[in-house]
Amino acid sequence: MTLWWIGNIILLVVILPVVVYLLRGVLEAARSIVPTVGEIATTARAGSKDLDSAALLLTTQDQVARTVAGVADYGTSLDVIVDDAEKEPV
Amino acid sequence: MAAAGVVMIIAVALIVLALVYFLVSTILELRRIADGLDEVIAGVGEIVEKSEPVNGIVAAINEQLDAGVDLLEGLLVKKAGLSDAVGLIDGLYPGAAAAGLRNFPESTGIDPPRIGEVYTKGTLTLARLGREAPIAAASPSGEVLRNVEGGSLAARSLYPSVRHQSPENLPRSPVIGADAPVQYEQRDDIGAPRKRLPARRP
């Protein structure tokens, strides 16, 4: 009978507080993750939005190709109308 | 014995209640985390999808620009000579001669002539057209042929003069109106009947 009461006291004084303490720690840790995940989601959305203009790189590539082609035509014309430099003495 | 049993039942019930409360709360928080991670995965997926072609496009752009640089470097060296080309580049971008030309590693060892202080860009091009000009013949050891600050005025002499040589400032148009510094009196005969001359006799 005495042991039973001792067991009850241990149950109420030791085991219950330990269980509550541990579970409360897990809950607080889980709650602290939620806002961080929200910020990460916001950042990911913003990063995705920033990359909307990445599709314009195709236009940039086309423009660069045209520009280089124009430069090539211009260089070819210059090659025809401008004399070459005299060869430097060796 | 009954009292001890009741106390034990109460203690176990309290422990179970604590377990239920905290575990359910934890489950709810974990679900919110899972929802947030779904949003994160969706955003990251969009980032990956949008940035997928970037590497290929940038590589292609770099290849095209490399081809352009090769072309321009080769043309410049072919037309101006390696030494003058380095001097021209150093004149346009001071200090750039130290890096040299990409396709001409020997250009890094050239002492760049002071072309940028002797001729303007347009003068250099015009001088090269149709004849071989002695660009920077006195450079780099000789005197500077022309003042750098007066470069633009010297270049103007290459073109037909319209207004920029003499006089520099043309006279301005007169100011008219009520606030004009010079007021002109109104003539009385303006708007009046024309004077009749006496009739001529035949």
pLDDT one-digit tens code per residue, B135-175:
444 444 444 444 455 555 555 555 556 555 555 566 677 77
pLDDT band at B178 (very low <50, low <70, confident <90, very high): confident
Distance from CA of A71 to the nearest CA of B (A): 7
Nearest by CB: B68 against A45, A68, A84? A68
At residue B45, the pLDDT reads: 92
Restricting to B residues 148-177, those with a Cβ less than 8 Å away from any Cβ of A are: none
Three-state SS string over chain B comes to CHHHHHHHHHHHHHHHHHHHHHHHHHHHHHHHHHHHHHHHHHHHHHHHHHHCCHHHHHHHHHHHHHHHHHHHHHHHHHHHHHHHHHHHHHHHCCCHHHCCECCEHHHHHCCCCCHHHHCCHHHHHHHHECCCCCCCCCCCCCCCCCCCCCHHHHHHCCCCCCCCCCCCCCCCCCCCCCCCCCCCCCCCCCCCCCCCCCCCCC
**How close A10 comes to chain B (CA, Å)?**
10
pTM for this predicted structure? 0.52
Q: Closest Cα of chain A to B7: distance in Å?
A: 7
